[in-house]
Amino acid sequence: MPKFCDLTGERFGRLSVVRHAGRNTSKRQVWECICDCGNVHTADSAALTTGNTVSCGCYLKERITKHGGSGKASYNTWRAMMRRCYNQSDKDYPKYGGRGVTVCSAWHTYTVFIKAMGEPTGNQTLDRVDPYGDYTPDNCRWASLTAQARNKRAKPGKSGHRGVYALADGKWLAAITANRKKYYGKSRSTVEAALADREQLEQFYWGDNR
For the chain, give the longest Cα–Cα distance. 77
Task: Assess whether pLDDT exceeds 90 at residue 135.
Answer: yes
Identify each DSSP E strand in 45-171 by its residue range.
125-128, 140-143, 164-166
One domain, residues 113 and 180: no
Confidence band of 110 (pLDDT split at 50, 70, 90)? confident
Sign of the Cα torsion 139, 136, 85, 19 reads positive
- Rounded to an integer, the average pLDDT of 95-115 is 88
Q: What are phi and psi of 180, to 5 degrees?
A: 65, 15
One domain, residues 141 and 73: yes
One domain, residues 77 and 142: yes
What domain range is 37 assigned to? 11-59
> Is 6 a domain residue?
no
pTM: 0.50
What's the number of domains the chain is made of? 3
One domain, residues 108 and 134: yes
pLDDT digits (tens, 9 = 90+) for 85-104: 888 778 888 999 888 899 99
CA–CA separation, 140 and 146 (whole Å): 16
**3-class SS at 140?**
strand
One domain, residues 90 and 49: no
Task: Assess whether pLDDT exceeds 50 at residue 154.
Answer: no
CA–CA separation, 197 and 70 (whole Å): 45
Task: Assess whether pLDDT exceeds 50 at residue 210.
Answer: no
Which of the two residues, 4 and 172, has the higher pLDDT score?
A: 172
Query: What percent of the chain is modeled with pLDDT above 90?
Result: 19
